[in-house]
Amino acid sequence: MAQLVAAGAPELPEGWFYRVRSTNIRALKVEIREQRRFRSRLVADTWVFERPEESAEESIVAACARAFKGWQEADARRAAYLATTAYIGDHDPKGGRK
């Protein structure tokens, strides 16, 4: 991961890493993964778009940035949803039965 971060990819928290993998359709995919005790968990992923004006490293770094942005946006949506769950339940305007 240090090589990708040095090239410009966003730095991930401790215990998280990038995985660049080949797929069965002859394309590359970048994944953000969280290391667990025995395995890792997929958090976000995106395709690597190969553009003629970019080097291979730039294409992979751009995919890392897209995956990171998608992960951050999903995390923000999840946090907003969890904040609304505090209001789950009955809300009687009279304060309940007496």
Q: Is residue 30 part of a domain?
A: yes
Burial (Cβ within 10 Å: 0-12, 13-18, ≥19) of residue 13 = exposed
Q: Is residue 40 part of a domain?
A: yes
Q: What is the mean pLDDT of residues 24-38?
A: 91
Q: Is residue 93 part of a domain?
A: no
Q: Residue 97: its pLDDT value, please?
A: 62
Strand partners, 30: 20, 46
| This prediction's pTM | 0.77
When the pLDDT of each residue in the chain is averaged and rounded to a whole number, the result is: 89
- CA-based nearest residue to 30, from 49, 48, 54: 48
Q: Which residue range is the domain that position 14 belongs to?
A: 2-84
Q: How many angstroms separate the CA atoms of 34 and 96, rounded?
A: 45
Kindly report, residue by residue over 39-85, the tens digit of the pLDDT: 999 999 999 988 888 888 899 999 999 999 999 999 899 999 999 99
Handedness of CA 26, 27, 28, 29 (dihedral sign): negative
Number of domains the chain is built from: 1
